[in-house]
Chains A and B, each alone.
Chain A
Amino acid sequence: MIKTEEIIVAGFGGQGVLSLGQVLSYSAIIEDKETSWMPSYGPEMRGGTANCVVIISDGRISSPLVSRYDSAIILNQPSLDKFESCVKPGGFLFYEESTIVNPPTREDIHIFKIAATEEANKLNKKQVANMIMLGAFLEVRSIVKLESVSKALLKVLPERHHHLIPLNEKAIGIGKEIIQKQYQETI
């Protein structure tokens, strides 16, 4: 059986959802897996919300667009409203809590609440909230290795930001710790 993970990453423009997805796709390539990264580039994006569909597979990827996801990484309320119902039963929903007024209600999926913005602010770099989300995701769904993610960061971040790679790696570690502390029994 071919192992495939279909992921939606969604939030406001500027929260780094597209680059989070790219880090996942690059990591997959480093591990010689197949991958596709499909961004929203339309009026939706211009209106402030952005998302990308990332598929990582051991085999050939057919449709790069799907309507049901194994995992959702959600960074704002409109995205949660739109994508909560699209997670496959038994799937995984990770959400950044700071803007969420109406939390998810489904009982047939695994839900993880992550204080990513709060933790990123403690690092004085709110831009790494996306990497905290990535760390949390990877702690539960270890579809790519951490060392591949580190290599992927070199590819995704422009050279002028390479000095921030250690900070990004630290943020990923924080995301993993949040899961370990809060959801020990779940995973």
Chain B
Amino acid sequence: MENTNKKEVRLMKGNEALAEAAIRAGLHAYFGYPITPQSEILEYFEEQAPKRGFTVLQAESEVASINMIYGAAGAGARVMTSSSSPGVSLMQEGISYIATAELPCLIVNITRGGPGLGTIQPSQGDYFQSVKGGGHGDYKLFVLAPSSVQEMADFVFDAFRVSEKYRIPALILADGALGQMMEKLTLPEEGSLPHVTPEWGTTGKTKDRERNIITSLHIQPEKMEAINHHLQAKYKAIEEAEVRYEEYFMEDAEIVFVAFGLSARICQKAVDIVREKGIKAGLIRPITLFPFPKQIISETANRAVGFMVVEMNAGQMVEDVQLAVNGKCPVYFKGRMGGMIPTPEEIAVALEEKFIHHEEKV
């Protein structure tokens, strides 16, 4: 029998690392529906559930699984679901309800190339969907973007912690490559995230308290506006306390890449390539996409020559970078779409074209 408790170094796929971490984080239940490139998550849970004591259920659709999450989270359980782009689109109504009802849970999107049914290859085309609503109404999710298999595991703990602290659904936004690739990782320790039975949960009414009601329906506009104010205040508190980002070669950087997830890994290599030519490039990697690390970008814009945002989409996060830079210096974009992954060399060339050769022409 394998000892799953101690800290150990393993070689795992991103999807499996995430699932194993969720079990170690004390997951009570997983509800999901298979879709490439994240089916290993469901498979791993199904294999482990009989041995490890949690519930795993393959729902009849993504619409069903997100509503099962809604119900189980309302009862105070630590729950998650996972899917890939088209499946996450199907969940959006439920996510809006869960956000309004202020329930903690974890949603994982191992993004594939879209729009439409698209391709099973990796993409970052769901950035807008993840941070700008996705479903209807003024709500936010706590969105984490891992860029390694280690982070696929670690961020599960972070996601549950923040989700339960603020009663906000958390989303891990990764891409198909991060789900499928294997890397060395140290697994987080089991039991390091204790359960607290929530006082707001529908766990059975006792005589000493009023009944708890979980709902997102408040028909009186005065009440609904008050709930909106409450949600916005919560999002503001999260923006003040939970921003995470990483810097790479930023001490003397004049040209700054901004990229998340797999794109950030590729940009690191692009930084290495152009640094060898004497170009002072660096990278800011947003780890939380909401709350977005706008302050560091805004401060950097005071001294930088310019920014280049790299994404595996048509240009989505670049809009948030532009808002943070606020016209202080140029912001360029380089992207690939439809499941194509840019190469480090391609990124390095794009940077040189915009900043180096361009200046020579002038």
Q: What residues on A are CB-neighbors of B182 within 8 Å?
A: 22, 25, 36-38
Q: What residues on A are CB-neighbors of B203 within 8 Å?
A: none
- Distance in Å: Cβ of B339 to nearest Cβ of chain A: 7
- Distance in Å: Cβ of B277 to nearest Cβ of chain A: 17
What 1/0 flags go to B293-327 for Cβ under 8 Å of A?
A: 00000000000000000000000000000000000
Would you call B344 and A37 a contact (CB within 8 A)? no
**A65: contacting residue among B119, B272, B343, CB under 8 A:** B343
**B181: contacting residue among A29, A39, A66, A67, CB under 8 A:** A39
Query: Would A35 and B11 be within 8 Å (CB), given that A42-B339, A62-B265 are in contact?
Result: yes
Would you call B11 and A65 a contact (CB within 8 A)? no
- Does any Cβ of A come within 8 Å of B180's Cβ? yes
**B11: contacting residue among A37, A38, A39, A63, CB under 8 A:** A37
**A29: contacting residue among B11, B120, B177, B343, CB under 8 A:** B11
Would you call B181 and A42 a contact (CB within 8 A)? no
Cα distance A34–B265 when bound, in Å? 15
Q: What residues on A are CB-neighbors of B346 within 8 Å?
A: 67
Would you call A63 and B344 a contact (CB within 8 A)? yes
Q: Size of chain B's interface in residues, with CB distance under 8 A?
A: 27
Cα distance A27–B119 when bound, in Å? 33
Cα distance A42–B113 when bound, in Å? 11
- Does any Cβ of A come within 8 Å of B111's Cβ? no
Residues of B151-203 contacting chain A, CB below 8 A: 176-177, 180-184
Query: Would A26 and B11 be within 8 Å (CB), given that A66-B343, A67-B345 are in contact?
Result: yes
Report the nearest B residue to A26, measured CB to CB: B11
**Chain A interface mostly helix, strand, loop or mixed?**
mixed
Would you call B120 and A36 a contact (CB within 8 A)? no
Cα distance A22–B182 when bound, in Å? 8
Report the nearest B residue to A152, measured CB to CB: B11
- Does any Cβ of B come within 8 Å of A43's Cβ? yes
- Does any Cβ of B come within 8 Å of A90's Cβ? no
- Does any Cβ of B come within 8 Å of A183's Cβ? no
- Interchain Cβ contacts within 8 Å, total number: 69
Residues of A118-174 contacting chain B, CB below 8 A: 155
- Does any Cβ of B come within 8 Å of A64's Cβ? yes
Cα distance A28–B184 when bound, in Å? 9
- Distance in Å: Cβ of A46 to nearest Cβ of chain B: 9
- Does any Cβ of A come within 8 Å of B19's Cβ? no
- Distance in Å: Cβ of A141 to nearest Cβ of chain B: 20
Residues of A16-60 contacting chain B, CB below 8 A: 22, 25-26, 28-29, 34-39, 41-43
Would you call B11 and A41 a contact (CB within 8 A)? no
Would you call A42 and B343 a contact (CB within 8 A)? no
Report the nearest B residue to A68, measured CB to CB: B345
**A25: contacting residue among B11, B37, B120, B177, CB under 8 A:** B11
Enumerate chain A interface residues (CB-CB to B < 8 A).
22, 25-26, 28-29, 34-39, 41-43, 61-68, 155
Enumerate chain B interface residues (CB-CB to A < 8 A).
9-11, 36-37, 119-121, 176-177, 180-184, 262, 265-266, 268-269, 272, 339, 341, 343-346
Please give 16 more A-B residue pairs, beta carbons under 8 A apart, in addition to A38-B177, A41-B120, A64-B265. A22-B11, A29-B9, A36-B181, A36-B183, A37-B183, A38-B182, A39-B181, A41-B36, A61-B183, A62-B272, A62-B344, A64-B177, A64-B262, A65-B341, A67-B344, A68-B345
